[in-house]
Structure 1
């Protein structure tokens, strides 16, 4: 009965989402003013003269763009128990996430910012119900493949993974449908946890499955191996919804649909520990709707300027479609000028919809080509479709100094579920697709600075073994699509 009873609320949410989309720029102006006013007397506000901010130009002059390293002096003060550091009071939680140069990152979540995380996920799902009329997924069991909800204590502030924190915000009416159990969800070791999840769900009436695609794929494979069924829909005939985020779904689509036994309705989301940025608001339109009225003031920097001393900074009303931007957050959790490391591209301005194009630090530019995640994903998707290939996982790295003394090239490391029948033709077509995606790459190939790409096959389970060796198996961890060095690929176990 939940699906029927909650439909009126779903239509209410849908109306709110539409209003947000219509007033996005105005909402952003108001949020910017409200954030500055609220944080004026904090340590950060006083250090950066918030009292002198009345225009966006004032804002940009006073608030630098930083990554976590730049924010860390304030984060350390908050962790030490100091109040009113970058936001009023103290955080309600710390979202603990892995960093690169800074080690573990502690991202504050406040009472004001919590609705952004949980409310946005709710809005995405209920908006789907109102748009499609489909609500049967509410009447059965749901699984959210997430991190442990157990919290550590940091000077009185509960600390854990964002996905675990969100588990504490699930309302009572939904908790009765949620799997796995709290005890199972607290298991840290992914392989053991996955087996217990299968134990609890294999005979359940599963209606909704949510998680990062590669980890959902592992879950599906274990279910089929245990049950002896050919497809997930044989096991869960009422399965009606797939919710995903964190990585581009397309490289995994064929494998997941083969395991499922068909295409499931889906909703894409764009959550991060620093804020829930966007979600799919329409099954008919491309891109994700920017969460423009949820406590975050967004800025956008052309991606090729992000490491400049004085990069161009734009508010939402100044962006253009088709441009690759680094996304900058200012939030009611006390993040200011915060570069989360993602790049996005707007596909429309009415409403403001975007797609994630990659990571600032995940690119290949060994020769100035600046190949980004979107380009390799689109090239591989087109060629895999042409060759009836299914890809489990992949990453790309430059080979600047080939051991045989040959010409430098890009090397693709691909783990297949269904390999190409002719690997040489597959690699040739993939190179042609990359030439279409990136003009600089085309120039380097034509100028013989680079030779055509090489594809190396990764043994079955090779990427999982690599992630396990890094302590990043399961949960919200993702294999980088690109790197400008060979640290990742040198650690992979390759087929002879």
Structure 2
């Protein structure tokens, strides 16, 4: 009944999505004005003279670009109980994340910003229904592999992981479809939690599965081990949809489709603790539709300028296709000029669709090559297809001072599910693919500054063990594709 009753609403959502996509630049201009007016009398607004902002040039002159380190003094004031710091009132939640030099990050979520997170996820799913006519997943069980929904308090502000916070926003009519149980979802240890999830879902009518691909793969493998089935579709014949985000799906596609027993329609999303940025609005067009009218004013900086003192700052109407940009957020949660560390590239401006190309901090430029995540993933995909290889996980690090002597090189740590028959030819073709992806890398190879890349196969389970050792097994955590140092490399070799 749900699939039948909700179809008209799905078409209403799709019309709204289309309308916003057609007026995205105007919507962004209006959003900037609304944000500045609302936050004018906050501490941040007064510190940065919001009262005098009339246009985007004024905005750029008054709002600096920064990351969490810049925002942290304001976050500390909010945590201490102060009101009207960077947004009116106090946040409803703090999304707690890690990974900065300051330790734990506390990202505010306000009553105004919460619809951006849950509402965008809803829009992505209902847009899919309206586009494809497929809605039977609403009549069965669905699972969202996520962090614990348990909350702490920070001076009266509920605090937890974003995926857990969003779990509290699931409407009552959908909760009857949702797995796992609340008690299982609260288990912190990923491997224990996974076993309980398998217990609760192995005999269920699963129709929608959502999560980060490497952890979904682990879930599928456990299901098949326990059930004795050959494929997930044998176990869940009504499985209709896969929703994912956080990492590029392509490196995991072959392994997941073999486990499933075929290709399942999918919807890609681009959520972050700081805001839900984009989602896949078409099963036929490349890229994710920018969330242009959801309380976020976006700015874009050419990726090569992000560390400059005065980088070029562009609004949506000024971007071009084919250029890597660092994406900057200004939000109705009280984040301003906030660099989330991601790089994106627009594949279309009518409408504005983008692909995520990597992380500002996840790159290799030990020799000036500035290799990014998208480049290594495309090179790996090309070489893997040519050699009929299947890769479980991989990461790349520079080897500046090889212990064996000789020229430096890029070292690729690869966990193979199906290794190449000819390892030397695979490495050679992988290196050739990289030279096609990055002209600076090509010049370094031709100039004998670097020798061709070296593939170092890892043992089975090495990446999972590494993530476990870092306390980042499961949930929304993912292995960085690239690093400019040897920390991950050293961790994998222990």
Report the TM-score range of the alignment, normalised by the length of the smaller protein: over 0.9
Q: What is the match of residue 220 of structure 1? A: 220
CA distance in 1, matches of 2:131, 2:302: 34
CA distance in 2, matches of 1:2, 1:379: 43
CA drift at 1:100: 2.6
CA distance in 2, matches of 1:240, 1:419: 31
CA distance in 2, matches of 1:376, 1:101: 27
Matched position secondary structure for 1:40: coil
Q: What is the match of residue 408 of structure 2? A: 408
Q: What is the match of residue 380 of structure 1? A: 380
Count of paired positions: 494
TM-score of the aligned structures, taking structure 2 as reference length? 1.00
Q: What is the match of residue 107 of structure 1? A: 107
Would the aligned equivalents of 2:60 and 2:313 in 1 still touch at CA under 8 Å?
Answer: yes
Q: What is the match of residue 339 of structure 1? A: 339
Deviations 1:193-226 (A, max 9, x none): 0000000000000000000000000000000000
CA distance in 2, matches of 1:472, 1:113: 27
CA drift at 1:455: 0.2
Q: What is the match of residue 147 of structure 1? A: 147
Deviations 1:10-44 (A, max 9, x none): 00000000001000000000000000000000000
Q: What is the match of residue 131 of structure 1? A: 131
CA distance in 1, matches of 2:100, 2:109: 21
CA distance in 2, matches of 1:50, 1:79: 23
TM-score of the aligned structures, taking structure 1 as reference length? 0.99
Matched position secondary structure for 2:127: helix
- Any residues of structure 2 matched to 1:242-391 within 5 Å, and which? 242-391=242-391
Q: What is the match of residue 18 of structure 1? A: 18
Q: What is the match of residue 466 of structure 1? A: 466
Would the aligned equivalents of 1:302 and 1:325 in 2 still touch at CA under 8 Å?
Answer: yes
Deviations 1:415-470 (A, max 9, x none): 01111111111000000000000000000000010000000001100000000000
CA distance in 1, matches of 2:404, 2:365: 22
Instruction: Please report the RMSD computed on the Cα atoms of aligned residues, expressed in angstroms.
Output: 0.6
Matched position secondary structure for 2:100: coil
Matched position secondary structure for 1:297: strand
Would the aligned equivalents of 1:459 and 1:493 in 2 still touch at CA under 8 Å?
Answer: no
CA drift at 1:493: 3.6
CA distance in 2, matches of 1:459, 1:294: 44
CA distance in 2, matches of 1:380, 1:334: 39
Structure 2: give runs of 5+ residues left out of the alignment: none
Deviations 1:44-96 (A, max 9, x none): 00000000100111100100001000000000000111110000000000000
Would the aligned equivalents of 2:68 and 2:100 in 1 still touch at CA under 8 Å?
Answer: no
Q: What is the match of residue 425 of structure 2? A: 425
Matched position secondary structure for 2:440: helix
CA distance in 2, matches of 1:18, 1:313: 27
Q: What is the match of residue 71 of structure 1? A: 71
CA distance in 2, matches of 1:140, 1:200: 14
